[in-house]
Structure 1
Amino acid sequence: MTPTRVLSLALLLAAPVAAQTSELSRGGGAIPGSATWSVAGDPGQIYAIVVALDETPTEILPGVSFAISDALLDLTFTLPGFIGLLDGSGNATASVPMVDPGLAGLVISAQAVTGPTFGSPSNLVRTTPAVSGTFAATVEAPALPILGGAISQLPNGDLLLAGGSGPAAQRYTDELERFELDGLTFGVGLLSQATALADGRVLFSGGLGLDGQPTDACAVFDPTTGDTTELTMGSPRAGHQATLLSDGRVFLTGGFGDVSIDFTAILTDPLSALSVFNGLLASTEFFDPASLTFAGGPNMLEPRALHTATALNNGSILVAGGMTLIPILNIPTVSATAYTYSTLLGVFGLPIFFDGPRLAHSAIKMADGSVILVGGITLDLEALITSGGDLTQIAIGARDDVVRYTSGLFSGGFSTVGTLSEPRALSGLALLPDGRALIAGGFRATLSSSAIDLGAASSADLYQVGSGVSVTGSMAGARTQPLLANLADGTVLVVGGGPSDAEIYQP
């Protein structure tokens, strides 16, 4: 008797009750490791999980159409746990070892049915096995290219990607590795910020407007309703930071308030180009998502842009690096200082110094509450100034070091904790379930009178507290400032930054 007839016989012997719809989820897929499928339905129901390597719609049971083929139906009856009874909570899980590296690159599609009627198959899920420490392309690519923006988790677990594809939002469904367009949002410019709010909405703030100048325009997008509410900040900002606080507000810091350049004056006085840095802001402001209002905050001790601002476990914010001005002299320089802002006291602390000034670096809070600053750009203007404006004397470079901030009794301090596999700025960061940090992509930047090297990076590193930096697998495409998002099964989605496709990192 064929497996189909066995399943049909179970249907005929079952008591006639109303059809029940089951839910199927999947996890794992690491090689070596295992892939799992979990069925949810009514307690005591018969269940069966069907897997396939192609999605050809098939009537596996009389009158019951699946989105997949029945070519591997025999596995339902031979693999442990793929057929049975749901437990007292209405759940069952089946697991298959993933040992053979040859499984990498396959797309395993699956659906489930539950009895006794077997009237309607579950949702479709897809599993893409991958060797640990490697990146693999998602089954489907984004509908539009993505550059920057923010990722917010929706109530059903899907991810909303907004701000990186002009005014278009995209939705990512992890169970299917599928991207779909999901309405229109707020069109943002270069050097803007997109911040995922605690309730799933997204705040877009500042950036360069159509006139090339920083704008005070901002908006809040609600993905559940599709509504966009346009607002106005207290000050125009571009190249600022917008950090979510523990109380749900957003703290906006620094940026450029003006980037006007007199190109005629530069022809006779190249040093006048440095006046663009006079537009650096020391001001801050708070956004309250409940009232949709902005309120002014305290000034930073130094103006800065292209910095990082990271929320700490104690509710404070660590503001680090960026482009700044030397106090009193007002000479532009890259910052090697950080400050903590106390949300309790409403003040910035004393400066904290770290090795290696940097801007356009990346930062992430580790599982132990410490913060790492990764790579970044150095900009040496000393030779330009001392030469009287010889533009060939500007020296730009990317950093290859990682510094770590740990809090202390007063303000804490920094230490150098590792060297990257290559210099990189604007890399993407994500915290893995085991506490390591994934460092992916970015760009190299070497520009001097003797060397030029500008290019995006496809390489990736891992940082672990106490162990430093190690190399992991490379992405298929080079990406600058990619978006990284943690997925439910412990993998990481990597999207944007140049290539039109997306990849998943398997730890």
Structure 2
Amino acid sequence: MLTHIDYEHFLEWVYTGNMIFARAVHTASILADGKVVVAGGCCNGAENRAELYDPSTGSWTTTGNLTHGRQLHTASILANGKVLVVGGEGGEGVSSSAELYDPSTGGWDTTGNTIYPRWMHQASVLTNGKVLVTGGVVDEGVFQKATELYDPSTGSWTHIGDLRYERNWLTASVLTNGKVLVTGGYNYQDGYVSVTELYDPSTDSWTTTGNLTNVRTYHTACVFNDGKVLITGGLNGDVGLLTSTELYDPSTGSWTTTGNLNVPRMFSTASLLTDGKILVIGGEVYESTTLNSAELYDPSTGSWTLIDSLNSARLFHTSSILTDGKVLVTGGYNVYYQSTAELYDPSM
């Protein structure tokens, strides 16, 4: 007797509801109630639009529009549950504007402008609740070295010193000791930056730390629960796309190589799963080939394993760990801007 097998039940990736607006280079932030707010991005009218994903229904609803349309901005969850959106590029050029999303009202309110306009930057929420903004680009060929702090209690920004090396497409990771590690990136004067830097909130100062083994930009960074940082892939102009990955140990300030990715990639995302593994998703290889592959890093073995592929190839997407441990991937680009979203279930 033949028995029907529901193969979809065993798939690691499944589609969920489509976003209302197709978009890429947007942000996705998990709210205190478990919903996800997606904001801004490119293109086709998405720049000032925001929408909410409800994991309990798998559906999207519109929420308040951003005051300023933007792409390649940052979004940070504050201690009070609001979302701080900073900078980016919009119809009026590179922005210094910042605004706050209030989940209780679904509205956006402007807050203090950054001192320096920027996009392609990073924002990090510190243990004291303030937000550190680093790097980015001011204008064509003009890179940002200045760093600044946002104080939610006053809504104002303070310049707290400069990076040693200006850079865009950097990563900035909050370590378990409260410091912030900046890695990689590029600028026209120095090229690909191998020097990594540490911000210490207790002294408001920057210091250099160990150099990367392989210089790179367009890479990812993830902080493990033990405090180490894994960076993956990216681009090195002299070598090309990278499969190499390396680990930073804050106790020694040094980098060591670990297992290579199975697929070289840039513009991917990396997420720390609840079981301690890291999931790298999608991205791009040369000649505008978008990837649908995904792979898992196991810190106990230092090795990578390819898993089921995404249903849709994508780059410039987002990936978010939901409260139930699943991973929500939204939007991105593959020939066209995408409205699709899909879920990865680590338990499958």
Verify same fold: TM over 0.5: yes
The AA in structure 1 aligned to 2:292 is S
3-state SS of 2:245 partner: strand
Equivalent-residue separation in structure 1 for 2:260 and 2:201 (angstroms)? 33
Equivalent-residue separation in structure 2 for 1:157 and 1:456 (angstroms)? 30
The residue number in structure 2 matching 1:64 is none
Deviations 1:68-124 (A, max 9, x none): xxxxxxxxxxxxxxxxxxxxxxxxxxxxxxxx993343xxxxxxxxxxxxxxxxxxx
- How far the C-alpha of 1:146 sits from its partner, in A, is 3.0
Residue 176 of structure 2: which of 313, 319, 326 is its match? 313
Equivalent-residue separation in structure 1 for 2:34 and 2:193 (angstroms)? 39
Residue 200 of structure 1: which of 81, 95, 105 is its match? 81
Deviations 1:448-485 (A, max 9, x none): xxxxx322111001112132211111101111132111
Residue 420 of structure 1: which of 261, 267, 272 is its match? 261
The residue number in structure 2 matching 1:135 is 13
1:367 and 2:225 matched: yes
- How far the C-alpha of 1:443 sits from its partner, in A, is 0.9
3-state SS of 2:129 partner: coil
Report if aligned partners of 2:294, 2:308 keep a CA contact under 8 Å in 1: yes
The AA in structure 2 aligned to 1:322 is G
Q: Percent identity?
A: 29
Report if aligned partners of 1:130, 1:136 keep a CA contact under 8 Å in 2: no
The AA in structure 1 aligned to 2:212 is F
Equivalent-residue separation in structure 1 for 2:21 and 2:137 (angstroms)? 29
Q: Return closer, same or farther for 1:101/1:313 CA change in 2, 3 Å cut-off.
A: farther
- How far the C-alpha of 1:167 sits from its partner, in A, is 1.6
Report if aligned partners of 1:400, 1:423 keep a CA contact under 8 Å in 2: yes
Mark the structure with the bigger radius of gyration.
1
**Which has a greater percent of helix?**
1
Deviations 1:420-449 (A, max 9, x none): 12111121121111100110011113xxxx
Report if aligned partners of 1:141, 1:178 keep a CA contact under 8 Å in 2: yes
Two-structure CA RMSD over aligned residues (Å): 2.0
Equivalent-residue separation in structure 2 for 1:152 and 1:220 (angstroms)? 12
Q: How many residues align?
A: 334
Report if aligned partners of 1:166, 1:186 keep a CA contact under 8 Å in 2: no
Question: Which TM-score applies when normalising by structure 2?
Answer: 0.90
Q: Which has the higher contact order (CA 8 A, sep 6+)?
A: 2
Residue 378 of structure 1: which of 226, 230, 236 is its match? 236
The residue number in structure 1 matching 2:240 is 397
**Segments of 4+ in structure 1 off by > 4 A?**
none
Question: Structure 1, unaligned stretches of length 5 or more?
Answer: 1-99, 106-128, 260-275, 326-330, 381-395, 446-452
- How far the C-alpha of 1:226 sits from its partner, in A, is 2.8
The AA in structure 2 aligned to 1:401 is S
Q: Return closer, same or farther for 1:429/1:189 CA change in 2, 3 Å cut-off.
A: same
Question: Structure 2, unaligned stretches of length 5 or more?
Answer: none
Equivalent-residue separation in structure 2 for 1:290 and 1:424 (angstroms)? 40
Question: Which TM-score applies when normalising by structure 1?
Answer: 0.63
Equivalent-residue separation in structure 2 for 1:136 and 1:146 (angstroms)? 19
Report if aligned partners of 1:339, 1:350 keep a CA contact under 8 Å in 2: yes
Equivalent-residue separation in structure 1 for 2:316 and 2:229 (angstroms)? 19
3-state SS of 2:339 partner: coil
- How far the C-alpha of 1:211 sits from its partner, in A, is 4.9
- How far the C-alpha of 1:219 sits from its partner, in A, is 1.6
Report if aligned partners of 1:153, 1:200 keep a CA contact under 8 Å in 2: no
Residue 173 of structure 1: which of 40, 49, 54 is its match? 54
Equivalent-residue separation in structure 2 for 1:211 and 1:222 (angstroms)? 25
Equivalent-residue separation in structure 2 for 1:158 and 1:200 (angstroms)? 12
Equivalent-residue separation in structure 1 for 2:249 and 2:154 (angstroms)? 34
